[in-house]
Structure 1
Amino acid sequence: MIGIGSFFFKYRNVVFIFLYLTLFLPSPAIADPVSEGWITVAVGLLISLCGQLVRGATIGMSYIIRGGRDGRVYAEGLVTEGIFSHARNPLYIGNILMLLGMGILANSLLFVLVVMPFFCFIYQSIVLAEEAFLRNKFGENYDLYCKDTNRWMLRLQGIGKTFRSMRFNWKRWIVKEYNTLFIWLTAMVLLFFFRYPAFVPSGEHEKHMLLMVMVGCLSIGYVFVRWNKKRGPWRDVN
């Protein structure tokens, strides 16, 4: 599993883009999009938003540098504060919730029953590879950390104290998360237009115009953040 995890870690960005694209594949529906569409919209949005809140809180309070180096698992230090004191993999928990919510929002039984288990298998493999690296690098300190925190279950006990004891860095959240936010929000807009015609204007011209405006606004926001990160005042945000 560690070897599989190392492989998926190296190519995870490409794999995850393809997983997002499967949201738009034809699939049996979870619920009738006309009479029960509000259920999949409400549940999907709630679960997906919870995932982003977990990711946002994790990044905004105590960011972990574990993006890899040369396509391999890498970590500069052992981060155990913030949301990492409540779960060992809060960013991955957030990703799973976000994607599960998107699958429900897409009203795709194929995605929920087939793609999501594969997605979870990928993450389990990556986590095992990361744990092997961290245990080898940090030894007993990492073992003690593992005894106090769950791998996948987010412990809510004491989370209020964690929030009160740390300052949320909103700039870091935006700078580190803007790629994920752009893909997430763009996919959400497209799903509404393609899966829920009752939620958008009925006229083709109005529908296309609204779609272009919404995607255009997201694109402008993406370019704005990217420029500020690369050349503007947010270059040194960590």
Structure 2
Amino acid sequence: MLAIGNFFFKYRNLLFIFLYLALFIPSSEIFTEEDLGSNYYLYPIIIGLTTTIFGQLIRGVTIALKYIVRGGKNKEVYADDLITEGIFTHCRNPLYVGNILMLVGVGILINSLLFVAVFIPLFLFIYQAIVLAEEQFLRNKFKGQFDAYCSKVSRWWINFNGIGQTIAGMDFNGKRWLIKEYNTQTVWVTGIVVILLFYYPQLTVYDTDLRDKLFIILLVLLGAYYFSIRYLKKSGTWKG
């Protein structure tokens, strides 16, 4: 598992590209009209959007309270400090939990049984391997300090007890959330827009002209968001 984790740690960003492409592989549906009636499409939309947005919120709050460098060094697991503040007080891997929920959510949103039943378990296996490799590094570097942290905080489960106090007791850096996440957010929202407009014609009353106009407008807005945040970051106007 450790060898697998160290390997995928190097290529985990490519993993997300692969998984996003896998969303669009033809598949049987999770929710069907036969089982749920003509409004069956509302189930994947409501459940999927709720799940994926919750995942992004977890990532956002985590980053806004205490940023942790996940990039490694020379594509290998690396950390200068053991971060235990902010949401890391409630879960050892909140960013990864957020990623999982975001992907599960879009898988439900696109109503793909293949993605949820095959690709999500594969993703969870890879993530478990990556986390084990990270934990080996942290245990070797921080020794008893890391073991003490592990004894109090779950690897995957977020303990919501006292989370309001944690958020209220720290500075919330919303700008850092945006400048660290704007790439991810743009790709994520673009995927959601494509799914909603092209997989659910009911939402535009089967009007392809309306769908195409909405698609162009939303792409322009997303482009404006992306380049605005990118400018604020690169110019130094906003600093994380």
Which TM-score applies when normalising by structure 1? 0.96
Q: Distance in 2 between matches of 1:207 and 1:188?
A: 14
Tell me by how many angstroms 1:200 deviates. 2.2
Tell me by how many angstroms 1:130 deviates. 0.5
In the TM superposition, 1:177-196 aligns within 5 A as: 177-196=181-200
1:66–1:76: 8 Å Cα contact kept in structure 2?
no
Tell me by how many angstroms 1:202 deviates. 2.9
Question: Counterpart of 1:218 in structure 2: which amino acid?
Answer: L
Alpha-carbon RMSD: 1.2
The worse-fitting range, judged by mean Cα deviation, of 4-13 and 158-167 is 158-167
In structure 2, the residue matched to 1:17 is 17
Counterpart check, 1:85 vs 2:80: no
Q: Distance in 2 between matches of 1:37 and 1:203?
A: 17
In structure 2, the residue matched to 1:108 is 112
Q: Distance in 2 between matches of 1:219 and 1:120?
A: 31
Counterpart check, 1:212 vs 2:220: no
Q: Distance in 1 between matches of 2:77 and 2:199?
A: 38
Q: Distance in 1 between matches of 2:145 and 2:32?
A: 51
Structure 1 unmatched ranges of 5 or more: none
Question: Counterpart of 1:25 in structure 2: which amino acid?
Answer: I
Paired residues in the alignment total: 236
Tell me by how many angstroms 1:201 deviates. 5.0
Tell me by how many angstroms 1:157 deviates. 1.3
Q: Distance in 2 between matches of 1:133 and 1:219?
A: 39
In the TM superposition, 1:166-181 aligns within 5 A as: 166-181=170-185
In structure 2, the residue matched to 1:223 is 227
Tell me by how many angstroms 1:158 deviates. 1.4
> Which of structure 1's runs of 4+ aligned residues deviate more than 3 A?
none
Counting aligned pairs with the same residue, the percent is: 50
1:107–1:195: 8 Å Cα contact kept in structure 2?
no
Q: Distance in 2 between matches of 1:145 and 1:170?
A: 27
1:52–1:95: 8 Å Cα contact kept in structure 2?
yes
2:201–2:207: 8 Å Cα contact kept in structure 1?
no
Q: Distance in 1 between matches of 2:181 and 2:125?
A: 23
Q: Distance in 1 between matches of 2:57 and 2:211?
A: 30
The worse-fitting range, judged by mean Cα deviation, of 10-19 and 83-92 is 10-19
In structure 2, the residue matched to 1:199 is 203
Question: Counterpart of 1:221 in structure 2: which amino acid?
Answer: Y
Question: Counterpart of 1:49 in structure 2: which amino acid?
Answer: I
Q: Distance in 1 between matches of 2:162 and 2:172?
A: 17
Counterpart check, 1:158 vs 2:162: yes
In structure 1, the residue matched to 2:28 is 28
The worse-fitting range, judged by mean Cα deviation, of 52-61 and 66-75 is 66-75
Q: Distance in 1 between matches of 2:151 and 2:236?
A: 42
Which TM-score applies when normalising by structure 2? 0.95
Structure 2 unmatched ranges of 5 or more: none
In the TM superposition, 1:23-172 aligns within 5 A as: 23-32=23-32, 34-172=38-176
